[in-house]
Amino acid sequence: MIVMTGATGTLNGATVDHLLKHVPPTRIGVSVRDPERAKHLADRGVRVRQGSYDEPEALRHSFADAEQVLLVSSSDVTADVVRQHRTAIDAAVDAGAHRIVYTSAHGTGVDTPYPPLAIHAATEQHLEASGVAWTALRNGFYGDPDQLLGPWRATGVIAKPADGPFSWVDRRDAAEAAAAILTSTAPLDGAIDLTLSAPVTLADFARAASELTGRHVERVVIEDETWVADEMAHGTPEAVARFTLSMFQATRSGHFAGSDPTLARLLGREPRSIGDQLADRLAS
């Protein structure tokens, strides 16, 4: 049986949908914080059990009979997330899982220019020490392109701090790849980079947006402190603005410049490009 957490979230909600194309529902389980929100899965025959990363006993119950457990990285910003991940890994080991798959992030490392990556590094260390086989899905950045680019559709301008190359993947591709790994007969061990075949910059986004709209979209570089001040003037808390700034700074240090063909190989096609993703966003 394959059991996953986060199935009421965006990424693993899509992963469970992909799994259902290849695996009978009776061989799939989900561990969710609120089973009411997984009713659509229970209705399809998926085993739904309650469990949060703060409830080791509930997690052990959720993970019972699992050969593989897929753990989503916690989105609980108020919690000790590394402790939550350790709790979930320990519960999967206690339940007898043979492999633990974890949604990590591209560029993960202990000493990196982007602080959140240390959480994934600590989690991967715990996986390594767990004694069971593990796979860390080091996904490229993903999310709503408008959150990355700002109000470019209204202004015709992508006005952000200086950036460097990074991978911006489509979350649907990350989910499809996760399902491919879970159903593979040749498991991938350790940390796997799931990126675009070539990294992109915000200038590439501006080019893609210009091509799609037929209107010139300009990439304008804003000096770091001016950008932070602008964000704060628009109501963004300083800590949030500086957190986002650290991401741009990390990209321009070249930290995310690497790319890997594994995502394309798992999908059997090129990952959706930033142009594809912007087109989808414009159509929605």
Ligand X SMILES: NC(=O)c1ccc[n+]([C@@H]2O[C@H](COP(=O)([O-])OP(=O)(O)OC[C@H]3O[C@@H](n4cnc5c(N)ncnc54)[C@H](OP(=O)(O)O)[C@@H]3O)[C@@H](O)[C@H]2O)c1
**Segment lying near ligand X (by CB under 6 A), choices 128-136, 140-148, 225-233, 235-243:** 140-148
Under the binding rule (CB under 6 A), the answer on residue 72 touching ligand X is yes
How many whole angstroms separate alpha carbon 40 and alpha carbon 33?
A: 15
Contacts for 53 with CB less than 8 Å, ≥ 6 apart: 5, 59, 74, 76, 79, 84, 85, 87, 88
Under the binding rule (CB under 6 A), the answer on residue 103 touching ligand X is yes
Under the binding rule (CB under 6 A), the answer on residue 53 touching ligand X is yes
One of 73, 195, 201, 277 touching ligand X (CB under 6 A): 73
**Segment lying near ligand X (by CB under 6 A), choices 27-35, 187-195, 259-267, 274-282:** 27-35
Nearer to ligand X, 118 or 229 (CB): 118
Residue type, 126: H
How many whole angstroms separate alpha carbon 221 and alpha carbon 11?
A: 31
Q: CA 89 from chain center: how many Å?
A: 18
**Segment lying near ligand X (by CB under 6 A), choices 52-60, 129-137, 150-158, 233-241:** 52-60
How many whole angstroms separate alpha carbon 39 and alpha carbon 37?
A: 6
Nearer to ligand X, 16 or 241 (CB): 16
Are 139 and 169 spatial neighbours (Cβ–Cβ below 8 Å)?
Answer: yes
Where do contacts with ligand X occur on this chain (CB under 6 A)? 5-6, 8-12, 32-34, 52-54, 72-76, 84, 103, 105, 139, 141-143, 171
